[in-house]
Amino acid sequence: MSLLETEVPIRDVITTDPEKAKALENDVRAKILDMLAEKEMTIEEIHTELDRRGETKAETTVRHHVNVLKDADMVELARLEEAGGATQKYYKSNTRVFSYDLPEDADQRLDEAMGTTRDELVDLLEQLFETHGDEIEAVAREMKPCEYCATQHYEEFIVRELVNRGLTDLSETGELADLLE
């Protein structure tokens, strides 16, 4: 006899590769990504800013965190500059992490917008698969590590990546900001 039985729907999907997920295991790295999304900084500048934000870390620890993010392809070397006989390395994030909570009543207030979004996405996805379905399916087949991995939702992952990358591109070109004004 079951004491509790309830439907538990999927409410959120996070898409990322395992290396990026591992890099984000540490909240200091998320703070570093946030800082480096705004401007390029040296290890010393990151160290100082983290300290200002209440994260007291040794400079070697900061360097380690930046290297983990760099290895996960979330941070890049943006500029080299000569300074006092040494070379300063400036890092910049190529990844933006949104980690916000919506207000408690947001689902109710955004219900109509969600319906509109869903309907428009159905049309977009139908068009996407009509035009690019073969390419999406081919990439999904390449992602499968074995014949028994059909439950991994590879095509869904690819579609989510395409939508996410499209939104990211609109954001970087300024078109999204223009639409939101």
- The model's pLDDT over 33-88, given as tens digits with 9 standing for 90+, comes to 999 998 999 999 999 999 999 999 999 999 999 999 999 999 999 999 998 888 99
Query: Which letter, b or e, does each residue of 6-41 get, where b requires 16 or more Cβ atoms within 10 Å of its Cβ?
Result: eeeeeeeeeebeeeeeebbeeebbebbbebbeeebb
Provide the domain limits for residue 36.
Answer: 18-93
| Token pair listed for 13 | 């999907």
CA distance linking residue 173 with residue 19, whole number of Å? 27
Q: Look at the pTM and tell me if it is higher than 0.85.
A: no
Residues 123 and 159 in one domain: yes
Residues 127 and 76 in one domain: no
At position 58, the amino acid (one-letter code) is: A
When divided into structural domains, the chain yields a total of 2
Return the pLDDT at 7: 83
Residues 51 and 77 in one domain: yes
